[in-house]
Amino acid sequence: MREDRQRLDKWLWFARFARTRSLAARLASDGFVRVNGLRAENPAKGVGIGDVVTVAAPHATLAVRVLGLGLRRGPAPEARLLYDDLSGHAATLEQPE
């Protein structure tokens, strides 16, 4: 994958929209994620800075603009630097442990 792109499942995991990378991949493959308005059925779809990612789940739907590509899965404050919330929600979809 190009340097300016990152796999969707990896980005969702780094940004803490899912607890595990396999759950992030399942979100994408089950059709709960859209990138720039188009349904992302493949977890390997590339996302880049400026893309709009919409994640739908039973308890919330979030639309975010990608601001950065993560290098690791860090703490929540670090993960929030990877996106700008366009939907007005302050929290990610990941549930507390």
Task: Map out the domains of the chain as residue ranges.
Answer: 5-85
Instruction: With cut-offs at 50, 70 and 90, classify the pLDDT of residue 2.
Output: confident
Over the stretch 61-85, which tens digit does the pLDDT of each residue have? 899 999 999 999 999 999 999 999 9
Tokens of 9: 């499942």
Distance (Å, whole) CA 33 – CA 55:
5
Whole-model pTM? 0.86
For residues 4 and 92, what is the distance between their CA atoms, to the nearest angstrom? 24
Please give the Cα distance from 5 to 30 (Å, whole number). 22
Residue 95: what residue type?
Answer: Q
Fold of domain 5-85: 3.10.290
CB atoms within 10 A of CB 18: 23
Q: Please check the confidence at residue 97 and state whether its pLDDT lies above 70.
A: no
